[in-house]
Structure 1
Amino acid sequence: MNRLSTSWGEVSLARFPADPRDPLRAWDAADEYLLRHLGETEPRPSGTVAVVGDRWGALATSLAAFHPVQISDSFLGREATRANLLRNGLDAGAVRLLSARDTPPERIDVLLVRVPKSLALLEDQLHRLAPALHEGTVVVGTGMVSEIHTSTLRLFERIIGPTRTSLAVRKARLILATPDPAIGAGPSPWPLRYALPDGIGVMSGRTVTNHAGIFCADRLDIGTRFFLKHLPGTRGPVRVVDLGCGNGVVGTAAALANPAAAVSFVDESFSAVASAEATHRENSGGEAEFLVADGVSRLPGGSADLVLCNPPFHSHRATTDSTARRMFGGAHRVLAPGGELWVVGNRHLGYHLRLRRLFGDCEVVASDPKFVVLKAVRK
């Protein structure tokens, strides 16, 4: 846990779930730059303040006195905001929490945008929010210099209005845009739908739906393609969990291969779960549930027969295996004795070492020069 000083006082902040072993802070220089800019600008924020893409609640918690609306696609980011408000003795209702799929406020007077890693997600968010802006709306974006590109500024220009950038401070930069209601950028082009290629098993040629911000939203990534070729077969009324489901293509494949299976699609991204639900609905009529959650935290222990997982190895721009560690631990808890965890990952990540420590052993099911599929059995 660390403390962040702002013009409105000092706040204690942590990521979610808080882990004393995690050296990563809940904010960075881009968040500090934005807060400092707001504190030095007159007039201070007023009216409806919308905070978009606040990664761990640092912005919303610091601005709690202004009762902001936080719009986030991340369940973990939302829970971090709740925890940080509580940590600082602030009213839980001081921040209105909306997901990226919720209807945004009808009018926004101050729009603060933490530039996401995904340009598609930024495009979708700006399209959804533009109708709520007016000529007097203050629009400020922030990000590290490495996150802000010419394409980023073009999106603000095309959807919001005239845009300029600040000088870089500690490798962070601000984006300052002036709303132009005459632009009329129109509706978001997202979600996208596309047909999958042949040669990937039961999902060959089928259509998937992808909301903005989903990993490889406009095509099938090569890791998932490899996984689909090597999925385990199941029979009868088993419980399958697609952990970190993304657009749901893996869980839908499991449902099609065994119509008697009950599949749980789980992800911490609201847009991912919405994508998985649309993909499953179009391709399979089997039993399914869709959970936005911190891994399998909402599933009972010992309730699953099979967990399928393609874990991310990034947390925003930081490379870390902390998410995979927590996914594997959650899978171990939720699997019934004899239940199996199947994982696909880049060979160099060494997931087999962690799985052996956790499960006692693991087996290489398939491999190629880039990826490996591993199986671990709950003893």
Structure 2
Amino acid sequence: MSADGPDSALETLLLPLLDGPLAWPEAGGALFLRARDGWPLHQRAWPGLVCEQSFRPEADALQRSGLPLVEADADTRHPLVLLLPPRQREEARALYARAIARTAPDGRVLACLRNDEGAKSGEADLARLAGPVASLTKNKCRAFWTAPLHGAADPALFAEWRQLDAPRAIAGGRFTSRPGVFAWDRIDAASALLAAHLPPDLHGEAADLGAGYGYLAHELLARCPRITALDLYEAERRALDLARMNLAAQGARVDLAYHWHDVTTGLGKRFDVIVSNPPFHAQGRADRPDIGRRFIAVAAEALRPGGRLWLVANRHLPYEAELARQFAQVRVVVQAEGFKVFEATRLP
């Protein structure tokens, strides 16, 4: 069970291995890209399975279940590569190419997508890259897999797609980003609204919860010269790596720390200022206002007496009650463009 409901894509992904026509490779095991934990993974033993996951909550869940994690840059090849492709098309195509690169000779790639998340398009993309694929449909999902591979069927397309999610300049060269991270190709409107209203008197040690590729942290430092240290917390490691690039020049002026971390588990540090544009989705489509409420509670725990939280949210998200419960003073700074900016102050 995922936070957004039953994980039908994970269940369907494994059906070709449970019911045929594919056999689990007893020698060499398998690599699972974008792996998620869930009951389907515990129906039987999967000898030699290793997992890769850059989203910290999912990585933590895999570790709690005893499933081994490997780094994204490892180059070991496997007789089977499993993957649950992301929704972002360029990122997904790059992942198909990487899956083929990680497949041993005569190995296969097996993927699965929900029908409402582009399953037919995903199957067609893998076929363009790898040659003919077979498939099955169940649970409103489609699992699809290659024939035994000896590299890509289209080497030129393979080389092109491997670079589709590479870091690149955005916003007129101000920032570096890449497909698949939040608001990857633009400055997010909600974060921009929050940044525009940050007061210059914010000072001391600060944190950015859900820092993304580092835009809001960058603006906080630019607009508030009395900030002396800044900790960035981000659950998606691919985004955090970008934040390191985007704030590298600031390291000479303030102390910077980067945390690949699930904010909902707490911070373990105290701060004078916290800024946040909290996520309101997990890895599914459903709204998850509980995540934002937990960010607010964690911020309240982590702020020193008199500390200030500056937070932006979509106007429809119900955060007022949690802010009032956690903070002595709360005010709406601005409502515009479908968003609302709050300042919340902890009791001295």
| TM-score normalised per structure 2 | 0.87
Among 23, 42, 64, the alignment partner of 1:43 is 23
- Whole-angstrom distance in 1 between the partners of 2:188 and 2:202: 27
Conserved in 2, the CA contact under 8 Å of 1:140 and 1:175?
A: yes
Among 106, 121, 132, the alignment partner of 2:76 is 106
- Whole-angstrom distance in 2 between the partners of 1:59 and 1:275: 33
Distance apart, 1:260 and its partner CA: 4.8
Question: Cα deviations across residues 273-332 of structure 1 (Å, max 9, x unaligned)?
Answer: 11111111156633200001111757434x111111111111222321121122111111
Report the residue type matching 2:70 in the other structure: L
Question: Cα deviations across residues 200-249 of structure 1 (Å, max 9, x unaligned)?
Answer: xxxxx66212244211111222212222211232455x111110001011
Distance apart, 1:63 and its partner CA: 5.9
Identity score, percent: 24
- Whole-angstrom distance in 2 between the partners of 1:331 and 1:117: 30
Higher relative contact order (CA 8 A, sep 6+): 2
Unaligned stretches of 5+ in structure 2? Answer: none
Conserved in 2, the CA contact under 8 Å of 1:60 and 1:70?
A: no
User: 2:268 corresponds to which residue?
Assistant: 300
- Whole-angstrom distance in 2 between the partners of 1:275 and 1:259: 24
- Whole-angstrom distance in 1 between the partners of 2:118 and 2:37: 20
- Whole-angstrom distance in 2 between the partners of 1:98 and 1:143: 23
Distance apart, 1:57 and its partner CA: 4.9
User: 1:192 corresponds to which residue?
Assistant: 167
Cα pair distance change 1:58/1:244, threshold 3 Å: farther
Cα pair distance change 1:54/1:174, threshold 3 Å: same
- Whole-angstrom distance in 2 between the partners of 1:348 and 1:180: 51
User: 1:233 corresponds to which residue?
Assistant: 200
Conserved in 1, the CA contact under 8 Å of 2:91 and 2:164?
A: no
Conserved in 1, the CA contact under 8 Å of 2:305 and 2:346?
A: yes
Cα pair distance change 1:158/1:284, threshold 3 Å: farther
Q: Which shifted more, 130-139 or 68-77? A: 130-139
Conserved in 2, the CA contact under 8 Å of 1:31 and 1:59?
A: yes
Describe the SS at the equivalent of 1:348: coil
The residue correspondences of 1:55-94 to structure 2 (distance < 5 A) are 55-58=36-39, 60-62=41-43, 64-83=45-64, 85=65, 92=66
Distance apart, 1:55 and its partner CA: 2.9
Distance apart, 1:172 and its partner CA: 1.4
Among 107, 125, 132, the alignment partner of 2:102 is 132
Among 136, 139, 142, the alignment partner of 1:170 is 139
Conserved in 1, the CA contact under 8 Å of 2:63 and 2:69?
A: no
- Whole-angstrom distance in 1 between the partners of 2:52 and 2:127: 21
User: 1:18 corresponds to which residue?
Assistant: none
Report the residue type matching 1:171 in the other structure: K
Cα pair distance change 1:60/1:118, threshold 3 Å: farther
Cα pair distance change 1:332/1:377, threshold 3 Å: same
Among 116, 120, 124, the alignment partner of 2:90 is 120
Q: Is residue 30 from structure 1 mapped to residue 9 from structure 2 by the alignment?
A: yes
Describe the SS at the equivalent of 2:259: strand
Unaligned stretches of 5+ in structure 1? Answer: 1-13, 16-21, 86-91, 197-204
Paired residues, number: 336
The residue correspondences of 1:204-215 to structure 2 (distance < 5 A) are 207-215=174-182
- Whole-angstrom distance in 2 between the partners of 1:63 and 1:230: 54
- Whole-angstrom distance in 1 between the partners of 2:234 and 2:142: 31
